[in-house]
Structure 1
Amino acid sequence: MKKLLTLTLTLVLALVLVANQASAQQFSKRKQYNSVGASLNAMNYFGDITPKPSIASFRFAATRPNLGFTFTHRFAPRISGRVGLSYGRITGDDAKAADDTDPDAKYRYTRNMNFRNDILEVSAVGIFDLIENRNNYLKRPDFVPYVFGGVAFYRHNPKAADANGNYVRLQPLGTEGQRATGDTYSLNGISLPFGGGVRYKLNKSFDLGLEIGWRKTFSDYLDDVSGNYVQSRDVLPDGPARYFGWDITNARPDTYGEFNQGGGQRGKSNEDDWYIVTGVTVNYILAPRIKSPKFR
């Protein structure tokens, strides 16, 4: 997946640079235009609380909604820039994702962790159309596939349900002993969005789009699970921190013998979490004002 990310971003950048040099001089400002869009999306995540210890593993039942708004400016026959604002949720639950009959999932089943995380994202991406349009917006192609890549800032806040079903913020608890070490993870982060989609021309003013985009984050704490358990239960203060950092694991009926928890592995600390956004977008084109020629 890391190689795919690097290859995709490199390809998008190379295509944008080449196309920009070749066509920018031939694409007059009067053919450029803006559009605004609204999208209804499905949101999923790849991380520690998934059915398999693989970045390709996620539960369709864990899909949650995401709502987004965008502003796009068309610069050249193939090139557009887009800024976006979106808000959505990711979720995971060991009790539902891990099969207690699967030898590869018994560890996560015993861990018994759950989370949900509401993510607010602001993004800026470059879009490269695979079909060019050298005309104005009225003569744009009916069907256009495209790829995109860029950068995003996100704000997140992982929570988990306690024994009473109440959701508790996890980051302040330091469930892996962060309060003792002072190494608390941040609730702000940078991600690299990339992916592709298709646009379909409904009429002169509206486009309908379908898009899928991956977000490569640089955090392993979207789900509050990353490294090891604390060495001793007493390291965690009594209350929610001890419940989520230690007790919740022992709440699972012990079917597989004693669970060696003190200092043991809690998550895959060598892999960052990802999230994916798939959805439908409606774009409205803000028709540019065309100046009438002056006659003398």
Structure 2
Amino acid sequence: MKFFIFSIVFITGIQFSGYAQQWEIGKTIGNTSFIGDLNPDNTLKIGGVHAGVYIKRDFDGYFGLALEYNFGNFKADDSKNSNEIYKQRNLNVNTNLNEVNFNMQFNFFEFMQGIGKSKFTPFIYSGVGVVFFQPTTTYNGKRYNLSELNTEGRDVPYRTNAIVIPYGVGARLALNEKIQLNAKVGFRETFTDYLDDVSGLYPDKFKLDDLSRALSDRSGEKTNNYIGNYRTQRGDLRKRDRYMFVGLGISFTFVSSRCY
């Protein structure tokens, strides 16, 4: 009996050891979608590009832990919105996102390059990370960093970094023992409402300098009818912005120990 138990533990240990030595590196490319004060309704609206790289440790055929870096960009422009209220507000933004995260992935089918039973599997993932962002806009032919201009008259400037919770779904397909293709849709819950530099209410314009005042309320640039009165609504009053990455990727398994 003791020999049987020892044999099971020994064999299981060999299998896990073999699996635990499998790593992969990969890259993705795709699009970015943004949901916030300058795009409150259209979740699937493509705002810009996305590219990323990652390294992942596959513990067995089902679980893996990945470290990812993702770059994204989104643009949002009230003047192109079909809603007349947003058109009248007339704000716009161009934001770069630099994100680093750890995430745990779970395969629905046993999947290991050259080892697992399946060559295809859907998967889900979730984790935690941080995003560094910089909202900008163009005014009179020049680009400005909006975070430096305090367009909402805050007592303390907002941070240009925030914790993010990435989660999503995807699928992967093994082409051979080393190379796989994958597709992924990933949502990001953020702990900031300033990815687009818009959050709450219009400030007291008399407390802003000329440039901040001009970029805080742009409603009258074409009509000369400015609507941004003090303490009236500027953003959508939701507390957090969100974004989404949609991408296709390729990866290479560079260390793999078979189980004999």
- What is the TM-score with the length of structure 2 in the denominator? 0.88
1:84 and 2:68 aligned: yes
Equivalences for residues 44-83 of structure 1 within 5 A: 44-50=33-39, 53-54=40-41, 56-60=42-46, 62=47, 64-83=48-67
Q: Paired residue for 1:160?
A: 137
Q: Paired residue for 2:210?
A: 238
| Residues 112 and 252, structure 1, Cα contact 8 Å, conserved in 2 | no
Q: Paired residue for 1:14?
A: none
Deviation at 1:211, TM superposition (A): 0.3
Q: Paired residue for 2:24?
A: 35
Amino acid at match of 1:249: S
| Residues 71 and 98, structure 2, Cα contact 8 Å, conserved in 1 | yes
How many angstroms apart in 1 are the aligned matches of 2:228 and 2:250? 52
Q: Paired residue for 1:215?
A: 188
Equivalences for residues 165-184 of structure 1 within 5 A: 166-178=142-154, 181=155, 183-184=156-157
How many angstroms apart in 1 are the aligned matches of 2:28 and 2:78? 30
User: If each structure's helix is expressed as a fraction of its own residues, which one has the higher value?
Assistant: 1
Equivalences for residues 1-296 of structure 1 within 5 A: 27-32=15-20, 33-50=22-39, 53-54=40-41, 56-60=42-46, 62=47, 64-96=48-80, 98-99=81-82, 105-133=83-111, 137-140=113-116, 141-164=118-141, 166-178=142-154, 181=155, 183-231=156-204, 233-239=205-211, 241-246=212-217, 248-253=218-223, 259=227, 261-288=229-256
Amino acid at match of 1:125: N
Amino acid at match of 2:209: P
How many angstroms apart in 2 are the aligned matches of 1:151 and 1:86? 13
User: If each structure's strand is expressed as a fraction of its own residues, which one has the higher value?
Assistant: 2
**Would you say how many aligned residue pairs link Structure 1 and Structure 2?**
247
Deviation at 1:26, TM superposition (A): 8.1
- Structure 1 residues 190 and 118: CA distance shift in structure 2, 3 A: same
Specify the SS of the correspondent of 1:31. helix
- Structure 1 residues 196 and 260: CA distance shift in structure 2, 3 A: closer
The gaps in structure 2 that reach 5 residues or longer are 1-11
How many angstroms apart in 1 are the aligned matches of 2:244 and 2:122? 19
Deviation at 1:111, TM superposition (A): 0.9
Deviation at 1:260, TM superposition (A): 5.6
- Identical positions, percent: 24
- Structure 1 residues 57 and 78: CA distance shift in structure 2, 3 A: closer
The gaps in structure 1 that reach 5 residues or longer are 1-23, 100-104
Amino acid at match of 1:207: Q
- Structure 1 residues 192 and 26: CA distance shift in structure 2, 3 A: farther
- What is the TM-score with the length of structure 1 in the denominator? 0.78
Deviation at 1:287, TM superposition (A): 3.1
